[in-house]
Structure 1
Amino acid sequence: MAVPWMKRSTNRRRKPAALIFVRALSQSARRGYLEFGALKVPCALGRAGVKALKREGDSATPRGEFKLSYLLYRQGRPRPRSAIRLKPIRRDDGWCDCPGDRNYNRPVSLPYPASAEHLWRRDGLYDVVVVLDYNIVPRVRNRGSAIFMHIARKNFEPTEGCVALRDNDLRRLVSRLPRNSKIAIRL
């Protein structure tokens, strides 16, 4: 007979999440830097800087702490190495950005009757995409959609609200991250 105080705990604790820090150069800054361990790289942010109260279409990067939900990658391009769950992007993949639609801030198949962003892009910005859990559960209409970490344009031009890194930096980052990682976007 086991002694109660000698029982092994059946509650298994998850490892603490790895935390990536994104710091804007200022509240209105369109650029910042991302830090994870010894990795410190420049990043592009939203055209309207970083905001605590994000709205759909305001071009701001949301301030806060968010889980990295999963990683999308374009088939036919180098597949990223990562412990984060991977999903290939198909030609008909989109992301609904219409606040009035029942699939607002969710992946959809194109063509879609409401407004939706194409994930299969010619410019390569979405060859590697980390989906952040911003406004996913609970989903609030008009609070903003499709907040990703993706590949930056040349010269780190501002995004529509995402965090963007050079292709090599993004691939290096995702190869180092454990599955339960989070990103903290701050000023």
Structure 2
Amino acid sequence: MVYSAGRLRYRGQYIAATCGRGGVTDDKREGDGATPRGTHSIAGLFYRLDRVAAPSDWAQPIYPGDLWCDDPQHPAYNLLCRAPLEASHEQMRRADPQYDVVLITDWNWPEASPGRGSAIFVHQWRRPGASTAGCIAMARGDLLWLAAKAAPGTRLIIR
């Protein structure tokens, strides 16, 4: 899978996609809104079982109380956690559909360096062409197709 200039290529198919509002960077930092350049891997697949069918047999459900810690000072930084969590975090079970299906990348994971950035996901965009906080985003149909085809370890090259 290769992401560049607003598109992603996988298995010969091109998919319209967006990256972080801070562009693509070689020096990713927590909160900079940028997408880290380089070769990464798909490390996980999560889905909202109350909204979509499992896109693949390795997909894991997102349950109420699932969180992703984005506090560089917390021991669970850049990991899936459960509520309650007093540290800064993202809700994995969102009211909007952006995280109905989420491919997790191995950026700064599973052993995170504090401040190097967290939660670099591949997910549904808010609207066509809308930037993210550092993730890769695309249309729901394209994301469902990708989630059904990709496997753990699938390379994600961001340039």
The alignment status of 1:53 with 2:27, answered yes or no, reads yes
TM-score (norm 2): 0.95
Structure 2 residue identity aligned to 1:62: P
- Cα separation, 1, equivalents of 2:128 and 2:140: 13
Structure 1 stretches (4+) deviating beyond 4 angstroms?
none
- Cα separation, 2, equivalents of 1:74 and 1:105: 20
Identity of aligned residues (%): 37
The alignment status of 1:82 with 2:45, answered yes or no, reads no
TM-score (norm 1): 0.81
In the alignment, which of 114, 117, 120 is matched to residue 147 of structure 1? 120
Q: Which is greater in Rg?
A: 1
- Cα separation, 2, equivalents of 1:103 and 1:54: 19
Aligned to 1:22: 3
Q: What are the within-5 Å matches in structure 2 for residues 26-41 of structure 1?
A: 32-41=6-15
The alignment status of 1:107 with 2:80, answered yes or no, reads yes
- Cα separation, 2, equivalents of 1:159 and 1:52: 17
Secondary structure (helix, strand or coil) at the match of 2:50 reads: coil
- Cα separation, 2, equivalents of 1:49 and 1:79: 32
Give the total of aligned pairs: 159
Residues 46 and 61 in structure 2, CA contact (< 8 A), matched pair in contact too:
yes
- Give CA-to-partner distance per residue, 1:72-117, whole Å, 9 cap, x none: 001211224325x211001100000001111111111122011111
Q: What are the within-5 Å matches in structure 2 for residues 118-137 of structure 1?
A: 118-137=91-110
Residues 80 and 171 in structure 1, CA contact (< 8 A), matched pair in contact too:
no
- Cα separation, 2, equivalents of 1:88 and 1:138: 23
- Give CA-to-partner distance per residue, 1:1-45, whole Å, 9 cap, x none: xxxxxxxxxxxxxxxxxxx0000x3xxxxxx10001221011011
- Cα separation, 2, equivalents of 1:133 and 1:98: 17
Deviation at 1:157, TM superposition (A): 1.0
Aligned to 1:185: 158
Deviation at 1:156, TM superposition (A): 2.2
Residues 92 and 120 in structure 1, CA contact (< 8 A), matched pair in contact too:
yes
- Cα separation, 1, equivalents of 2:3 and 2:146: 13
Residues 103 and 123 in structure 2, CA contact (< 8 A), matched pair in contact too:
yes
Ranges in structure 1 where 5+ consecutive residues have no aligned partner: 1-19, 26-31
